[in-house]
């Protein structure tokens, strides 16, 4: 059984006071067990948010990292800097960076490597555009992105990874992918991980769904076969909305665990 993971990607939102208040409310409302929670604030708030989360079960994550540990890279933040600021996790390969900033697949592979070298847990994002889906190439695109992102990962490091399937057309649009779109893609990702590293090692890797997840649709999405959590954008910006998703994951994880213990198979 994989413990569900819910990660809040605040993107370029919040000023310091709001970030601190939001983190405090999430820390106070997060359940004691049954679900892991990560908050990914903007870089400039990592210190302040990390201070709020210190000693709690809620982890701190970066939204990106540079592929090099240090150097003349104006405006960039390295993985060791994230660790120094208190982060344990980092998002890499988010579609907003792939598409708006032109980050290629190979770069995501180097960033994943940099994150692992710094002992961060990477949340590797993959996802197709609407054009790619209409052309019938969703799975090929997502698996290509996956292969490139994992190109420099050693087998023993596999359990430290999470993936997030985020169809680009579902991000920030209010359009959620349907179960018939989500379930086969998660199955394809799982099959690729198993083929790469074997089910024992790859079995620990959580595959999250991301794209317009909110308090209303979280129950349904998190109950889908192969969905081990969510990467949440807009709905992570209020504690009520985000904690409702966290609770949906905790309940879904608990009911899946009891199905397994009753011999009824996994989700
Ligand atoms: P939304 O939840 O706002 O659609 O964003 C999803 C996302 O990109 C999380 O990384």
For residue range 64-98, what is the model confidence (pLDDT) as tens digits?
A: 999 999 999 999 999 999 999 999 999 999 999 99
Say what the pLDDT of residue 65 is.
98
Say what the pLDDT of residue 252 is.
84
Ligand 1 pocket check for 234: Cβ under 6 Å: yes
Give the integer Cα–Cα distance in Å for 106 and 164: 17
DSSP state of 101: S
Say what the pLDDT of residue 267 is.
40
Alpha-carbon distances, residue 74 vs 11, 13, 77, 218 (angstroms) = 20, 21, 9, 39
Ligand 1 pocket check for 167: Cβ under 6 Å: no
Mean predicted lDDT score pLDDT of the chain: 95
Q: 206-224, pLDDT tens digit by residue?
A: 999 999 999 999 999 999 9
Say what the pLDDT of residue 256 is.
61
Residue 234 alpha carbon to ligand 1 centre in Å: 6
Q: 147-204, pLDDT tens digit by residue?
A: 999 999 999 999 999 999 999 999 999 999 999 999 999 999 999 999 999 999 999 9
Give the integer Cα–Cα distance in Å for 60 and 99: 25
Q: Domains along the chain? A: 5-261 (3.20.20.70)
- C-alpha 223: how far from chain center: 17
Q: 11-40, pLDDT tens digit by residue?
A: 999 999 999 999 999 999 999 999 999 999
CA angle 155, 232, 204 (to 5 degrees): 25
User: Is 94 tagged catalytic?
Assistant: yes
Say what the pLDDT of residue 95 is.
96
pTM of the predicted model as reported, rounded to 2 decimal places: 0.95
Say what the pLDDT of residue 266 is.
42
Burial class (CB in 10 A: 0-12, 13-18, 19+), 102: exposed
User: Is 36 tagged catalytic?
Assistant: no
Residue 105 alpha carbon to ligand 1 centre in Å: 20
Catalytic-role residue among 36, 94, 103, 132: 94
Choose the residue to mutate in 62, 172, 208 for probing ligand 1, maximizing ligand atoms within 8 Å of C-beta: 172
């Amino acid at each position: 059984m994989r413990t569900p993971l819910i990660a809040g990607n605040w993107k370029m939102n919040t000023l310091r006071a709001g970030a601190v208040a939001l983190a405090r409310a999430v820390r106070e409302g997060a359940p004691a067990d049954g679900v892991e929670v990560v908050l990914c604030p903007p870089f400039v708030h990592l210190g302040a948010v990390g201070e709020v989360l210190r000693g709690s079960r809620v982890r701190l994550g970066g939204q990106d990292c540079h592929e090099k540990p240090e150097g003349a890279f104006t405006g960039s933040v390295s993985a060791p800097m994230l660790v120094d600021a208190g982060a344990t996790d980092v998002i890499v390969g988010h579609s907003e960076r792939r598409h708006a900033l032109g980050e290629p697949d190979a770069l995501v592979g180097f960033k994943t490597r940099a994150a692992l070298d710094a002992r961060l847990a990477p949340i590797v994002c993959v996802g197709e555009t609407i054009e790619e889906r209409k052309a019938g190439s969703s799975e090929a695109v997502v698996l290509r992105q996956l292969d490139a992102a994992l190109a420099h990962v050693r087998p023993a490091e596999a359990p430290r990874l999470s993936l997030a399937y985020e169809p680009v057309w579902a991000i920030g649009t209010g359009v959620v992918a349907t179960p018939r779109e989500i379930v086969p893609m998660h199955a394809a990702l799982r099959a690729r991980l198993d083929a790469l590293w074997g089910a024992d090692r790859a079995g620990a890797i959580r595959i999250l769904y991301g794209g317009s997840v909110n308090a209303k649709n979280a129950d349904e999405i998190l109950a889908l076969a192969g969905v081990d959590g969510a990467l949440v954008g807009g709905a992570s910006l209020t504690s009520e909305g985000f904690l409702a998703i966290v609770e949906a994951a905790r309940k879904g994880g608990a009911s899946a665990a009891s199905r397994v213990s009753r011999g009824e198979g996994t989700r």
